Amino acid sequence: MLKKKILVVDDEPDFLKMIKIRLEANDYEVIVATNGKEALDQVKNNPDAVLLDILMPGIDGLEVLKRIRKTNPELPVFIITAFSNEERFELAKKFNASGFIVKTGDLGIEVENITNILRLSDKFKNGKSGFFNSFKGHAA
């Protein structure tokens, strides 16, 4: 069975490194990008799902999401951020994000939330279920 290929986009190198290690330990193939431009380049490698930080310098996560949706409306894209508020949640929904994961400061909870949502990612195909999920761990 082929490993699911996950694109993880975050401008925090320590977070990116730790998530990559933990997802690979959970049998995922992981591609990383540290900014919006790299993310858009890496989407061309056909990941099975994207974990996308919303706040990044240059091209932010919402703009990346908007551009991904123009070329790949079916790709599961999950917004991951340390800053959750209703406005960002609504914008992510507007651009058809598949889910919303809040960074908790607890890597164990974050990895658990991410692996749970990735296991279910086939159900999050946009246009099929219309389902928007929010996985929020416990605050650290």
12-22: pLDDT as tens digits: 998 899 999 98
Write down the number of H helices and E strands in the chain. 5, 6
Q: Residue 112 has what pLDDT?
A: 79
Residue 105: which region, alpha, beta or left (left: phi > 0; alpha: psi -120 to 50)?
A: left
For the entire predicted model, the pTM comes to 0.81
How far apart CA 12 and CA 36 sit, in angstroms, is 13
Q: What is the pLDDT of residues 3-56, one digit of tens each?
A: 889 999 999 998 899 999 989 998 899 999 999 999 999 999 999 999 999 888
Query: Which domains does the chain carry?
Result: 5-136 (3.40.50.2300)
Q: How far is CA 86 from CA 6, 24, 40, 80, in A?
A: 26, 32, 26, 14
Do the beta carbons of residue 108 and residue 132 sit within 8 Å? no
Among 2-11, 48-57, 67-76, 123-132, name the one with the lowest average pLDDT: 123-132
